[in-house]
Amino acid sequence: MIDVVLCLGGWLVSGLSLGLLAARNSKRHRAHGIKPPPVLPYQNTLWLLALLPGLLMMLSGTFAALLVWLGGVTVLGWLLALRRPG
């Protein structure tokens, strides 16, 4: 049961931070002919926040939750990449 809670919480935290990063990615905006937004000053913090659930799962020894989280974040990343920016 704790694995399910860890996975859902990890997906939520990682998904929100990856969504913010994808929405403000200047390379994606330029590729679609849209003026890129300014770079976020806390962009590195968002990357850390996106990877933090995996690190916590690895350190706590819940490897089943880690593998499910990795798969879910991979699918989420591909879904975010399909979206057009803006």
> Which residue from 20, 9, 41, 35 is spatially nearest to 83, judged by alpha carbons?
20
pLDDT tens digit string along 1-46?
A: 788 888 899 999 999 999 988 888 777 778 878 887 777 788 889 9
Residue 86 has a pLDDT of 67
Q: What is the mean pLDDT of residues 43-60?
A: 93
Give the model's confidence band at 52: pLDDT under 50 very low, under 70 low, under 90 confident, else very high.
very high
Contacts with 1 (C-beta within 8 Å, 6 or more apart), sequence order: none
**pTM of this structure:** 0.84
CA distance 53 to 3: 12
